[in-house]
């Protein structure tokens, strides 16, 4: 009996995507070569289906932006049957996700230490904005942007109106900088700071999650608004990618 081939619609239905997505996977080199029948129709096999599943796991948004090229290379290597390199790249990506998750967790711990009243800086004379930026290793524009977005209110020199940064401001700014550099959005940090300023210092890590009506849309700002939870999900998906490559290896040997 001749083998039963799958159609584009079969793959799309199995993965829960549009048929155009499967066609894009083919155009981008994410699928193995697809033979065609005498009628010109594509003849997909189980190998194509499982490769498409791998692509759907690894290459779809969201992912760590800096690893877009790595994930593209991963699925192309798998499509060309270089599953050993695909597995190596999958573990590289998992390592990157775990590093980002560690940074995000450390940033939250830093926040909680500050919220508990631990000083971040020893007492020092107040500084104007240029010296403050140098002291914190940030730009003047960053300090102004954080103030403009409501993350901090900086007292002014009564004589000349210049901003004065002291120990209190430096502690708050260190928390803001650490969270932003760890991937949290300004909206998430602002929501957390508003809760802190009302005197509610418990569960500040939960305040970093910004619920949105359109949270089902995987835009960059939505991911950043639930950064730690997103990293947990990315780690789980990276592990699922490794399991899928393992299955492809087993499928290859069983053929």
Mean pLDDT calculated for residue range 227-242:
94
* pTM of structure: 0.85
Clarify whether residues 50 and 122 are in a common domain. no
Most confidently predicted of 9-18, 109-118, 182-191: 9-18
Mean pLDDT of 221-230: 79
Is residue 168 in a domain?
Answer: yes
Query: Quick one: 156 and 66 in the same domain?
Result: no
The average pLDDT across 161-165 equals: 94
**Is 1 part of any domain?**
no
Asked if residue 224 has pLDDT above 90, the reply is: no
Q: Are residues 219 and 119 in the same domain?
A: yes
**What range defines the domain where residue 153 resides?**
101-228
Q: Mean per-residue pLDDT for 172-188?
A: 94
60-78 residue pLDDT tens? 888 898 999 999 999 999 9
Residue 217: pLDDT band (50, 70, 90) is very low
Contacts by residues 184-188 (CB-CB < 8 Å, ≥ 24 positions apart): 184/104, 184/107, 184/208, 184/224, 184/227, 185/210, 185/221, 185/224, 185/225, 185/227, 186/146, 186/149, 186/151, 187/221, 187/225, 188/224, 188/225, 188/226, 188/227
Q: What are the backbone angles phi and psi of residue 75, rounded to the nearest 5°? A: -70, -30
Confirm if 252 and 81 have CB atoms less than 8 A apart.
yes
Mean pLDDT of 76-81: 98
> At residue 255, does pLDDT exceed 80?
no
| Statement to judge: residues 109 and 131 lie in one domain | yes
Q: In CATH, what number is assigned to the domain containing residue 29? A: 1.10.1660.10
Strand partners, 156: 163
**Is residue 3 a part of any domain in this protein?**
no
Same domain, 156 and 111: yes
pLDDT at 177: 96
Q: State the average pLDDT over residues 149-157.
A: 95
Does a structural domain hold residue 118?
A: yes
pLDDT for the residue numbered 120: 82
For residue 180, is it within any domain?
A: yes
pLDDT above 70: percentage of residues in the chain: 93
pLDDT-wise least confident of 159-173, 209-223, 230-244:
209-223
Largest CA distance in the chain: 92
Per-residue pLDDT for 107 more than 70? yes
Does residue 86 surpass a pLDDT of 60? yes
Q: Span 88-110, mean pLDDT?
A: 96
Q: Determine, yes or no, domain membership for 39.
A: yes
Question: Do residues 107 and 39 both lie within one domain?
Answer: no
What average pLDDT score do residues 136-161 get? 95
Do 171 and 78 belong together in one domain?
no
Same domain, 121 and 178: yes
Q: Are residues 120 and 207 in the same domain?
A: yes
Average pLDDT across the chain, whole number = 91
Structure confidence at residue 226 as a pLDDT band (50, 70, 90): confident
Establish if 247 belongs to a structural domain: yes
223 and 155 co-located in one domain: yes
Q: What is the pLDDT of residue 215?
A: 46
Q: Is residue 157 part of a domain?
A: yes
Residues 131 and 220 in one domain: yes
Does residue 1 register a pLDDT over 70?
A: no
Number of structural domains in the chain? 2
Residues 74 and 123 in one domain: no
């Amino acid at each position: 009996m001749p083998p039963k081939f799958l159609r584009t619609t079969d793959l799309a239905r199995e993965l829960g995507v549009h048929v155009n997505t499967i066609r894009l996977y083919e155009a981008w080199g994410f699928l193995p070569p697809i033979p065609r029948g005498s009628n010109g129709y594509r003849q997909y096999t189980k190998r194509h289906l499982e490769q498409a599943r791998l692509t759907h796991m690894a290459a779809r948004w969201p992912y760590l932006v800096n690893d877009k090229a790595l994930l593209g290379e991963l699925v192309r290597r798998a499509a060309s049957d270089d599953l050993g390199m695909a597995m190596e790249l999958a573990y590289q990506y998992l390592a990157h996700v775990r590093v980002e998750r560690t940074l995000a967790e450390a940033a939250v711990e830093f926040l909680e230490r500050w919220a508990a009243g631990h000083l971040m800086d020893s007492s020092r004379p107040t500084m104007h904005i240029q010296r403050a930026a140098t002291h914190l290793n940030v730009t003047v524009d960053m300090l102004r942007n954080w103030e403009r977005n409501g993350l901090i209110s900086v007292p002014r020199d009564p004589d000349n109106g210049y901003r004065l940064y002291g120990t209190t401001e430096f502690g708050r700014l260190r928390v803001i900088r650490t969270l932003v550099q760890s991937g949290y959005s300004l909206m998430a940090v602002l929501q957390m700071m508003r809760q802190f300023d009302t005197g509610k210092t418990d569960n500040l890590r939960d305040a970093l999650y910004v619920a949105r009506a359109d949270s089902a849309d995987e835009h960059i700002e939505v991911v950043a608004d639930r950064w730690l939870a997103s990293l947990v999900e990315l780690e789980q998906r990276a592990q699922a990618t490794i399991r899928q490559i393992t299955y492809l290896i087993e499928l290859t040997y069983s053929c």
